[in-house]
Amino acid sequence: VNVTTEEEKADDTAIVTKRIIFIRHGNSIWNKMKQQGTAAKISAMATGVYEFAKSSYYDTASHTSSTVMDAPLSDIGIKQSKEMNTFFQTRYSELQSQLQTIENYSQSHEQCNTFLMESSKIIDNLLLPINITSTLNLSAEMSGDLHRVQKHLSSAKSEMTTSMHAFNCKISAEKKELQHLRCIMSALLQSSNECRVVCSNLRRAISTAIICLWHRFESNKDEHLCILSCLQELGYGLDSISHQDTNTVAKESSLNTIRKG
- How many residues does the structure list for the chain? 261
Q: Which residue has the higher pLDDT, 237 or 184?
A: 184
Question: What is the tens place of the pLDDT at every residue in 112-129?
Answer: 878 777 777 777 776 665
Tell me what pLDDT residue 114 has. Answer: 81
Tell me what pLDDT residue 138 has. Answer: 58
- The DSSP string of 104-161 is HHHHHHHHHHHHHHHHHHHHHHHTSHHHIIIII---HHHHHHHHHHHHHHHHHHHHHH
Tell me what pLDDT residue 261 has. Answer: 35
Tell me what pLDDT residue 84 has. Answer: 95
Is the separation of the CB atoms in 78 and 31 below 8 Å?
Answer: no
Distances (CA, A) of 166 to 170, 171, 210, 220: 6, 9, 45, 43
Tell me what pLDDT residue 246 has. Answer: 44
* Per-residue DSSP letter, 212: H
| Mean pLDDT computed over every residue of the chain | 79
Of the listed ranges 2-16, 83-97, 138-152, the least confidently predicted one is 2-16
Tell me what pLDDT residue 90 has. Answer: 95
Tell me what pLDDT residue 255 has. Answer: 57
The confidence band for 8, taking pLDDT boundaries of 50, 70 and 90, is low
Question: What is the tens place of the pLDDT at every residue in 149-197?
Answer: 777 777 777 777 777 777 777 788 888 889 889 989 999 999 988 889 9
The structure's pTM equals 0.70
Is the separation of the CB atoms in 215 and 28 below 8 Å?
Answer: no
Question: What is the tens place of the pLDDT at every residue in 47-100?
Answer: 888 888 887 777 777 777 788 888 889 999 999 999 999 999 999 999 999 999
The confidence band for 12, taking pLDDT boundaries of 50, 70 and 90, is low
C-alpha span between 125 and 174 (Å, rounded): 40
* Per-residue DSSP letter, 226: E
Tell me what pLDDT residue 56 has. Answer: 76
Bridge partners, 198 (sequence order): 226
